[in-house]
Structure 1
Amino acid sequence: MQDRTTNRMLYSLKVAGPQTAAALADRLDITAVAVRQMLGRLHEGGLVAFEDSRESVGRPKRFWHLTDAGNAQFPDNHAGFTADLLASVSSVFGEAGLDRLISHREQATLSQYRAALDPIHSIEGKVEQLAEIRSAEGYMAEARRDPNGDLILIENHCPICVAAKACQKLCRSELEVFQAALGPDVTVERFEHILKGARRCAYRIRPTSKGQLAMKL
C-alpha cells in the first residue's frame, strides 16, 4: 500500500507534468534524498519513468513522469464497462442509436452546467465554476490565464479516457457542451488533447467580438 507522501508525488506528477527530483522535493516539502528513494521504488514498480534533458551547459537534468500504469492509479469511472456498453449500443441500435444516446447525455450535462453557470455574470467566474464542476466529476480541472490573457481550462485527468478512445464522439460532445454552457460571447478551442498524445486536455476560451463589446460596456 502506498503512503500519503507517495500518493502526493503521483498526484503532483499527474497535475504538473514531468519534474526533476529537486522540483518534487520543493513541491512536497521533503528532502531530495527521500524523493529519489520514492522515485526509485515507483520506477521499480513501473509507475514512473524518466527522460534526461540537457537544457544548458553541464550535466543533463532528469525529468520524471508517470507511465501508463502510473496514470492508471487515478479513477476511470468504470470506463472499461462504459466502452463495452457503448459498443453494445452501437451493435444493437446502430450508429443512429448511439448518436441519440450521446445527444441525450449531452443535453442532460448541458442543463446541469447551465444551471450552475447562468447566475454568474463574468466569463472568468463561469470558467472557474466550470473547472470546479469538472474537478468534482474526476477531471482534476483548473482555470487560469495564459501570458496572453486568454482564459484556459485545463483537465489533468480524463476519467472516461478508455470510453473516449472507443467512441471519440464523447470528446466532440464535451467540447460542444462547453461552448453551449459558456455562451455565444466566447469561443472554446481545444488545443491539447489526451487522445492525441498530450498529457492533459486544455481549452482556450476567448471572447467573441460581441463578448468584447459587452465587457467594455
Structure 2
Amino acid sequence: MKNNLPDNEQAVWILKTRGPLPLHALAEALKVTTEGARFQLQKLAADGLVQATTAVKGRGRPQQIWSLTEKSESRFPDTHAELTLRLISSIRETLGEDALNEVILSQQKNNIRKYNTELKQFPELEDKLQELAALRDKEGYMASCTKEGESFLLIENHCPICAAAKACQGFCKAELETFRTVLGKEVKVQREDHIIAGARRCAYRITPRTI
C-alpha cells in the first residue's frame, strides 16, 4: 500500500506501521530534528490525529510516547465501508445468517484461487510469504513479512474492511482459513494480534510444522 499522506502527516504513517514511538525515534524516522518532529506532532495532535502519553522506564526521565487516535483511521482506506455495512444488514434481514456465511465463503474461495495462482511460482516458504504480503499490501492492508528465528510474522498494519469485520466476525475467520489453505498443511498459521480485538494491527505467526 502506497504512502499517499501529505508531508505534514508522515508521522501518522510511521505510527501506523511501527506503533507508538518516543519523539526521538519519530524524528529519526522522519529524518528531521526533534524540534521539527515535535512541531509536526503538535499540529497533528491539534487536529486530533495523534496523542502523547508519559512513560517512565527505570530511573531515567519520563518519556513522551506518541500514538494514533481513533480519528486517524480516516487517513487510511476502509473500502466502501458504508455500502458494505448496508449490504451485510440487508443480507441478514432478507436472507438470514446462513446466506451471509455463504457469501463470505464464496469470497474466501475467490481469494484462495487468486493467491494460489500468484504463489505457485514460489516453492520456498519465505518467498511465498513475501509475495503474499505484497499482494495483501496492494489490497490496502499495509502488509509486510519478517523472519523471526525459525518462524515468520505476517503483519497487517491496517484493515481496509474493518467496518465489515466488526459487523461480521466471519470475515476474520475466512481470512485466517484462507492463509492456512494457501500456505498448506506443512506450516502452522496462528493469529497473534487482532485489530478487531483492540490490537493496533493483525499479525500471523507462520511456523513450519517440522519445527
TM-score, normalised with respect to structure 1 = 0.92
Match of 1:215 in 2: none
Structure 1 regions of 5+ residues with no counterpart?
Answer: 213-217
* Cα separation, 1, equivalents of 2:90 and 2:136: 27
* Aligned residue type for 2:173: R
Match of 2:105 in 1: 103
Match of 1:17 in 2: 19
* Cα separation, 2, equivalents of 1:76 and 1:189: 24
Which of 137, 154, 160 aligns to 1:135? It is 137
1:38 matches 2:35: no
Aligned-pair identity (%): 39
Match of 1:113 in 2: 115
* Cα separation, 2, equivalents of 1:80 and 1:56: 46
The alpha carbon displacement at 1:9 in A equals: 1.2
* Aligned residue type for 2:176: L
* Cα separation, 1, equivalents of 2:121 and 2:35: 49
Match of 2:204 in 1: 203
Question: Cα 1:3–1:104, aligned 2, differ >3 Å: closer, same or farther?
Answer: closer
* Cα separation, 1, equivalents of 2:90 and 2:132: 31
The alpha carbon displacement at 1:50 in A equals: 1.2
Match of 1:76 in 2: 78
Give SS of 2:165's match. helix
The alpha carbon displacement at 1:3 in A equals: 7.5
Asked whether the equivalents of residues 153 and 204 of structure 2 are also in contact (C-alpha less than 8 Å), the reply is: yes
Deviation track 1:89-113 (CA, whole Å, cap 9, x = no partner) reads: 1111111111110111010111000
Deviation track 1:146-184 (CA, whole Å, cap 9, x = no partner) reads: 2x3311100000001111000010000000000001111
Give SS of 1:138's match. helix
Question: Cα 1:3–1:205, aligned 2, differ >3 Å: closer, same or farther?
Answer: closer
- Residues 139-158 of structure 1 mapped to structure 2, 5 A cutoff: 139-146=141-148, 148-158=149-159
* Structure 1 residue ranges (4+ consecutive) displaced by more than 6 angstroms after TM superposition: none
Give SS of 2:160's match. coil
The alpha carbon displacement at 1:8 in A equals: 1.7
Match of 1:27 in 2: 29
Match of 1:50 in 2: 52
* Cα separation, 1, equivalents of 2:43 and 2:96: 47
The alpha carbon displacement at 1:5 in A equals: 2.5
Match of 2:180 in 1: 179
* Aligned residue type for 1:125: D
TM-score, normalised with respect to structure 2 = 0.95
Match of 2:8 in 1: 6
Match of 1:164 in 2: 165
Asked whether the equivalents of residues 83 and 167 of structure 1 are also in contact (C-alpha less than 8 Å), the reply is: no
Give SS of 1:199's match. coil
**What's the C-alpha RMSD, in Å, of the aligned pairs?**
1.4
Structure 2 regions of 5+ residues with no counterpart?
Answer: none
Question: Cα 1:37–1:3, aligned 2, differ >3 Å: closer, same or farther?
Answer: farther
